[in-house]
Structures are given as C-alpha cells and as structure tokens.
C-alpha cells in the first residue's frame, strides 16, 4: 500500500489543535447543560404557558443544532483531508479538490441537489 510513499499514513493527519479544541467545547456544552438537570427542573418562568423545564429543553434543540453545525465547519477547517491516493506524492495543503474527479462517485445522484442554495453544503466552501 501507500504507507511507503512520502506521506506515512500510519500517522494522524496534521490538525489545528486550537480549532479542534473550540469544536470540542461547542460539542460538550449541550451535553453539560442538559445533564445538569437541577439548573432547569422548575416551572417558572413560563413561556406561552410552557413550564421552564419544557421550553428550556426545546431551546437546546436549536442551540445544539447550531453549535454542532459550527463545530462541523471548525473541524473541516482544522483538519483538511489528507488524501491517501497513490497519485498523491505529497500532502496537499488544502482539502481534496474535485470530488467528482474519480468518475461517478457514490451518492452523486442525490447529492447533486445539495450544492445549490443549501446552507448545509460542506467541503467545497473550505478550500
């Protein structure tokens, strides 16, 4: 295999540790907040008739979603993909380009619709 190439693939690809740590904090926050039950197990203040206990947890659905998405962007930036291909004789500085260069990649059919106005598009913005 390509372990004997210039790149030793039996290593962890380089990453920006600071960004990874920031992503870790974003991912940990919802877990800590929701496991700390005594901080929200009360009825007041109510919101549109909903006890605090209920609406606070609903709020975390959206906070957690936003934080997970932020972590996703951070992680993509922190550790660009290091291609393992035989043709790659040296590590690339940036994320792998041209996801379709290898011919019909899996998932193209349904993925195609994602690369337009979707806010959740991934790798191509990171280059």
CA 41 to chain centroid: 31
Q: State which of positions 71-100 bind other proteins (CB under 8 A).
A: 71-72, 75-76, 79, 81-86, 96, 99
Q: How far apart are CA 43 and CA 41, in angstroms?
A: 7
Show the tokens assigned to 73: 């962007």
Is residue 119 within 8 A of residue 66, CB to CB? The reply is: no
Q: How far apart are CA 64 and CA 59, in angstroms?
A: 9
Which position among 17, 18, 91, 123 is part of the footprint of other proteins (CB under 8 A)?
Answer: 123
Is residue 75 within 8 A of residue 20, CB to CB? The reply is: yes
Which position among 16, 19, 77, 122 is part of the footprint of other proteins (CB under 8 A)?
Answer: 122
How near is the Cβ of 31 to other proteins at its closest, in Å? 5
Binding mask 50-69 for other proteins (x = CB under 8 A): xx-xx--xx-xxx-xx-xxx
Which position among 49, 94, 117, 127 is part of the footprint of other proteins (CB under 8 A)?
Answer: 49
Torsion of CA 127, 98, 100, 4, to 10 degrees: -100
Query: Given the rule CB under 8 A, which residues bind other proteins?
Result: 1-3, 9-13, 27-28, 30-31, 34-38, 41-43, 48-51, 53-54, 57-58, 60-62, 64-65, 67-69, 71-72, 75-76, 79, 81-86, 96, 99, 101-102, 105-114, 120, 122-123
């Amino acid at each position: 295999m390509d372990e004997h190439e210039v790149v030793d693939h039996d290593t962890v690809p380089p990453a920006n540790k600071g960004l990874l740590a920031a992503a870790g904090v974003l991912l940990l926050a919802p877990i800590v907040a929701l496991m700390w039950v005594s901080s929200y197990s009360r009825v007041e203040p109510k919101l549109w008739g909903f006890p605090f206990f209920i609406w606070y947890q609903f709020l975390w659905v959206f906070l957690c979603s936003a934080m997970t998405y932020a972590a996703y962007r951070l992680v993509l930036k922190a550790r660009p993909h290091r291609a393992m291909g035989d043709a790659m004789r040296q590590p690339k500085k940036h994320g792998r380009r041209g996801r379709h260069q290898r011919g019909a990649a899996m998932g193209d059919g349904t993925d195609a619709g994602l690369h337009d106005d979707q806010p959740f598009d991934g790798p191509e913005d990171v280059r």
